Every structure is written in C-alpha cells, then in structure tokens.
A and B are shown apart, each in its own frame.
Chain A
Amino acid sequence: MSLPFNRRSFLRGMLNGTAVCVALPVLNRFLNVNGSAFADGAKLPVRFGTYFWGLGLTDTPTGGTRWVPSKTGYGYEIMPELESLKPIKDKVSVFSGFRVIGDGRPNLVHWSGHASILSGVAPAAPDRFDGPSFDSKVADAIGGATRFKVLDIDASASRQPVSYSTRTGATFAMPETTPLVLYTRLFGAGFQDPNSGDWKPDPSVMLRQSVLSAVKDQREALMAGVGKADQVRLDQYFTSVREMENQLAIQLQRPEHCAACVVPTAPRETPRSATVDAVRANTKALAKLLAMGLACNQTRVFNFVHTAGISETYLAGESKIYHQITHDEPIDATLGYQPETSRLAGLVMQAFGDFLIELDAVKEGAGTVLDNSLIMAFSDTGYAKIHSIENIPMFLAGGAGGRHKAGQHIHTTGESVTRVSLTAQQLVGAPVGEFGSGSMKTARPITEVIA
C-alpha cells in the first residue's frame, strides 16, 4: 500500500475535538536504498551537540604547545594531549589559533571564553551571557521533530549542576547529571519503544495535549483584547505552547521500527565523585545512554558538560584540584611546559575520546551515530595558567551526515572563535548567515571543512 506521505509531511487530525499537526520521524520508507539519504536524494537529518570541558589545553607563553599539531589540513599528527582522539582522528577536525575578541570588555575568567563561543559576544557580567547560546537556534532548526528538543547533560559531579545552554542569557538549562537520571528521562515514563509490538498512545500524553490545545483555542479571542506589547508576549508564549504540542504530538504516533535502537538496561546509581576517573566513567556512561537516545530518535540536539569552567575535578588521593594545578604549577625548564597540568589535560581529553567512541559504536544506516552527528567541543580558556582567551581549543567531530570534511587541522592567527561556531551551525543546517557581534561578528564559515 502506498501512503501519500513524504519526509515533509505532517500528520493532521483531531484529538479530543482539537486539530493536531504532527511532524514525522525519519522512516525507512523515506530513505534511499543505501540508508545514507532520503529517497529524494536529500541528506539524512543530522544531530548536533556541544561538548564542553574546563581549563583548556596546555600552551606556554613562549609558544610551546601540547595540543596544536604542526601540520595543517588532512593528516595532522596526534599531539600528546589529543592521544585519546587517535582511534577516531579522521572524524575529528582540530581548530587552533582562534580567540575571543572582547572589544574592550575585560576577560571574565572561566566565563568569557565559552560565553563568546556560544553567544557570539564577550559577556559583560560573569554570571550571564549577552545573548542566547546558539544551540538554541540549532534546536529550533532541527530539534522540533523529536521527543526532546534538546537534552542537557552534566557529567562533572560539581557542587552545582552545570549548563551553559541558555535562551535568554540569564537563565541556564537544568541538566541531567547521573546515568540513572538520564536513563529515566530518555527511557523511563513517556518513552515509546520503537521496536515494541503492542504500542498504544499514552493517555497521560493525550490528556496533557488536550489541556494545551484548549489554551490554544482561546488564543485569538485573547489576542484581540490586549495591547501590542502583550500581543508580543502572548505570541512568544503561544509559540512555546505550540512547540510543546508538537513534542507531545510525536508521542501519539507509533514510532517507526528502528534497528539501531536497543533499549538499554537501567544503570545503577553510582557514588557521586568529582575525581578524574569518576567523571570520566560518568561521561562514558552518559555518552552510552545519549548515543542510544539519539539512535532511538529521542532528541537531535544536546549539550554535554564534562567539567565546568572552574573545574572541580581532581586525581583521587591528591589534595590539589586540577584547576589549582593549572595555576600554581611552574613551567618545567627542560620540558618547556607544565608537566602535571598537561598530564591532567590528557586525562580529561580521554573522556572526550570515550564520548566520541560511544557515539561511533552505534551503527546507523551505512555509518554510525557519530557519522550522522556534529559535535562542537570547546573549552573556556586557552592557556589556563593565565586564563588566556587566545588559542582556545575547539574541535568539530562527526560527519554531520557527510557535510563535514572531517579529519583536518585548521589553524589561524587570532581570528574569532565565532567562525567555528558559525561553521558548526551551518554544517547542521541551521538557517544562519552570520554570527556574533562587534569584532566577533562573522559571516565567514570555515569553508575548508564544509563539503
């Protein structure tokens, strides 16, 4: 039987007397025979995620580096602090030499770096951004057809949950912080197993949608009776309501069978600890769940924090935390860098390697979840000893559905970090022509990595 649907179709109907408009998930019938594109030739939708770790990588003020390859383009050499990327090097592009340009705004330590990367402007205050983080724009562009428009995850076991995702600049997302909590969010109540044979719509979802739809029904009458400013506010409100309706509506549809989706077993609750090993284990466990969450089409956008800008992680048994060591360790005269800081940076990057490998381990179509994703990884600082916002390490990992010409080292001298941010947005199809403001405003993506 042939159904008159394509990948742009919506399911339309009535629910409890209310019209419902439902976007469709990616169905096999929409794909080509290779599983690499839609039948009409368009690329598969990609996932986008940010991965943040605190305290940068190791430079020295005299020009030494433990992470910047000397070779640019394809075939860059693996530097000591990038050792963990070796197995997936061809799927990771390295960006060096990019900096934050504050236009006279002071460097707010452990804040200006990632605030600028994510919002495009150096922040004026140390507890807020001067604009939304761009992941929210990406989520608006590609995250509307899944159960969770965006997922925020924090592996750091910090004293306070850490997230740098914000729509307002003032309030930040509340992340999932443990594997059990993330599992429950992804695969607990509300999860619809795409491979289950006895799927039924969730009555609680139906009820919630009815409530929201009832609000929608009164919209026009309410809008007509208020002033222009209130109309703007109401429009913003109803927009968010519509977004939620769309998210809920997805749960009313039988999910397409998804071979890559294997519902994992619930993880055990583990003791909370900020040691390097514990955070790495937490990262790996959370990444495994996230990878399956992506494969099961629960979300297409995520933000992952390994450690905060002011990282709290430390080696078990040591009294100094990593953050302290970056500042207080002198440069070894013979080696030319801070050896303990560099060792810790390498350990922290092992977690990033684990993260990517988990995404690469889930086969999907002709490739892997990583191949159909783009992860922009970055830190808050370059040379952490002095809170430098020059040469902030940045990476783009994953194939972005074939759009990312991965495996390259791109080096510039003093160009804005926002060029990498803009590149990431364009690689995943966000309708963004330029990004940032002031001296960091750019309309120049890094074309070398765009297919």
Chain B
Amino acid sequence: MKWHLIATAVAAITIAFPGSATSQQPSPSAKWTKTYVIEWNEPAMYYGAKTGVIDPGTDCPIGTNPSPDWIKVLVDAGYTLEEAKWLRNPANPTRSPVHGQNQMAFRGKDRANVYVNPTSTPDPGLVGVSGSLAEGLNLDGDENTGFTSPTGEKGIDNNFYKALGCWKTYRGPHRLSSGALNFNDAMRDGSWTTVIVVSGEGADPMNDNHVKVGFYVSNDKMVKDGSGNIARDYTFRIAPHAKYEGILPARTSNGVILSTAPADIMLRDPGYTRNLELLRARVNLEMKPDGSLTGYVGGYRPWEAVYKGWVNARGTVIEVLTWVQLPAVYYALRRNADYSPTGPGGEKTHISFALRIDALPAFVMTPDASQEVASVESYKAIAPKETATTTAVPFLVVDGIVPDRNAKVQAGPNAVILPPAAGSTKGPQ
C-alpha cells in the first residue's frame, strides 16, 4: 500500500529533460515527452563515392553532372558564337555579379524564356541516379518498388533523389553537399527554427505503440556554442503557424520512431521552395543514447514547386553556380514524378522525397511560454493568419531574372546582343 502511494507521487512530479530517455511529463494526454531542435536537415541523397563531393560512385557512375558549356548552350539556342562569347564575357556590362546575365533566360524556341516555359527547349538532359541504394522511407508500403536502403531495407521511395541525386547542388557526403551547407548555414545563423516534440502513452519511451511526433516552428533562434556548434538544451517557444506544422502518429521500437499511418504535413523546406508539403508523410527517427534524434521524415512533395523555387532564386545565377540547365531539372522531376493525389490514374504532380534530420535535445515551451509542452497537439487553431511571404533576397525576381530597371535595353527575345563596335566594352545596357 505504502509503495503504491509513493509510486503515484513520483509519477506526478513534473520534471522534463530534453531528449532524455528518462523525462516524464504529468500531462493527462502523454506519459512521456521528448523535445528537440533541428540543427541540420537536408534532402536524403545517398552518396555512393568514397571520396570528394563530385567523384564517380555507385550512385552516379560518371560522377556529378559536369558544368554545362554555356557558350555551346547559347549557340545551340540560336545565338552566334560571337554573341555567345560576349554574353559570357565578365566585361559585358549587362552581366551582373549579383544577377547574372539576364539574356541567358532567352534560349527557348523563338528565344522564349526557358525558366517560365521550360518545354520551349528540348530536354537538355540531367543524368540521374543509376545506383540501387537510397536513403529514405517506404512510402507506398510496397517492398518491390523503389530503392534498397544502405542497411538493406527494401522499397525505399525517393524519386527526388533518383532525379536530382547527381546534380552538384545535392550530391555529396552527409552534411557536405553545397546545397545542404548553404541552407543549413542560413538556418543555423537564424533564418528559421524547427522544433520536434515526441510524446507517448506507454511506460517505456523506447518501446511504445502510441506515439505522436510533432514538427513546429519556433521564432527563437538557435544559439551556437563557443565552437560554433548549435547549443544543446536551449529553450524554444512554439510559434503557432497556419502552415508549417506536422503531426504524425507513430510507435517506437528499441528507440526508433516509426510511422503507424501516413499524414499530410507541411514543413519549412531547407531550400528555395520554402514550403515542404509532404503528402502521405512518414517518419523514421532514432532516439540516440546521447539524447539526439536522427533519421528521416518523408512523403510525396509537389515537384513543380521545387523547379519554381530554383527559378525564383534567380535562374541565371543558379544555373551557372550549380552546374545545371534548369529546364533539365524540370524534365527530370516531371519524368520521375510518382504520385498523384487524385489516385493512381491521375496526373503525377508529386514526387517521393525524404528529408534527413539531425536534431538536438532542447526545451520546448508552449506558445505562451508558461510551461514545457507536455504532449503533441496542433496549434494551428491559434496561429495568426498567414501573411504574404516576404522574400529574403534584396531584389525583385521576375520570371527567373532580375530586370535592370536602369538599362536602356532590357534582356529579352529581341534584345540587341553585340556592342556597337568590336572590342568596345559599351554593350547594350
């Protein structure tokens, strides 16, 4: 009798440890809660080479797609060799170090803008992944479709990887691809924060059949320690968001969190797309002994939004920096799209995708900061109305280019390309 009373009292004590296997919450809705902050996230792109970031490997046997020969690209699009060389000459006053060469957009049929009309040019060809291994999740439950995971799991659905895995932006070892470095550096320097709450109803957090996983926005910025790493055990308040929130039912097995049913969620994308809409989303996340969390959240995402994200990041700049012709990205995504929200016979508007996550233990508070979160629940009902997203870039992108308002002649299908006199640096403005 006495022991029973003591056990009841202990269960009522409210002490939470971020990410700790021993944390306890008194909430009536959850027996235990673990809380984290995402310190790194990147598209799950299995790297099949032994060294470097572009070398040939089992994923991409000829290595990363090489940088296009832009002179040839322009000549193939109908420009004369002299025009093409002048357009690519850094001395050309219409070529901006910030905005690139706007005329590069106009290389479709009849010099259409290939960014807004990618099918105005034939598929330039983006070599995709030809290996059999991939990271990610079995989204359709069919072990006979998709890749095999590096640990041997069958049926990994990740056609995003298949389409773009040999593009320099995404290719590289864990945390070393150029895209992952860029976007995570921005996140870690304060651009956005995503927290994760995991709660369960069972007695053992490591093995619990009734678990929920919640992804939330926080407006509190991550803090770096003296070594430049994200600090553990920092405190974040959930910021209710009308769009960026995801709640998934799950179970835990030996510390691994696995979805029990798919869910439609929206996260903050570590990329130019910004909205990471995931249909039939699932998770596979491991609670590590050191308190951290690592693994995947994945689902089917709209592929055309990915393409437009890159275009709106200044297509002319993205193309030369990332070694790609954006129309090739459009064709590759369209070709590999593998999901239709309207059913198997519908248009494939979505593509299978997985986000690789590294998260640290953190204290996560309710929106009013009155207490630590005690369970996974939705805050959308109290989220402020979504306002128009403001762009972080200090310039206006129109159809993939940044028009030079002060130029006498704008880039376009009818632009005069060559300067009036050979050797002059006074080209069309």
Interfacial residues, chain A to chain B (CB-CB below 8 A): 61-62, 99, 101-107, 126-127, 159, 273-274, 310-312, 314, 318-321, 323-324, 327-328, 330-334, 385-390, 413-415
Contact = CB atoms under 8 A, between A and B. Distances in A.
Interface of B: 51-55, 64, 67, 70-71, 88-91, 93, 96-98, 168, 175-176, 178, 181-182, 185-186, 189-191, 220-221, 224-228, 320-323, 392, 394
Nearest to B182: A386
A319 B54 CA distance: 22
Given A328-B323, A386-B181, 15 more contacts: A62-B176, A99-B228, A311-B97, A319-B88, A323-B97, A324-B320, A328-B67, A328-B168, A328-B320, A330-B64, A333-B53, A386-B178, A386-B185, A414-B225, A414-B227
A104 B97 contact: no
A159 B176 CA distance: 34
Given A323-B97, A385-B181, A106 B52 contact: no
13 contacts: A106-B190, A107-B191, A127-B394, A159-B93, A159-B96, A273-B91, A319-B71, A324-B320, A328-B323, A330-B64, A389-B189, A414-B224, A414-B227
Given A61-B176, A102-B189, A106-B190, A319 B90 contact: yes
Contacts of A413: 226-228
B187 to A, nearest CB: 9
B394 A126 contact: yes
A414 B89 CA distance: 40
Contact of A274 (B90, B96, B168, B191): B90
Nearest to B169: A328
A62 B189 CA distance: 19
A126 B393 CA distance: 9
B321 A328 contact: yes
B185 A314 contact: no
Nearest to B49: A333
The CB with the most chain B CB atoms within 10 A, among A106, A321, A330, A385, is that of A330
Q: Give the dominant DSSP class at A's interface.
A: loop
A62 to B, nearest CB: 7
B185 A387 contact: yes
A328 B226 CA distance: 29
Contacts of B91: 273-274
Contact of A327 (B225, B226, B321): B321
Nearest to B84: A319
A102 B221 CA distance: 10
A103 B226 CA distance: 14
A274 B92 CA distance: 11
B189 A310 contact: no
B185 A318 contact: no
B189 A414 contact: no
A152 B382 CA distance: 53
Given A159-B93, A310-B98, A319 B321 contact: no
A310 B226 CA distance: 28
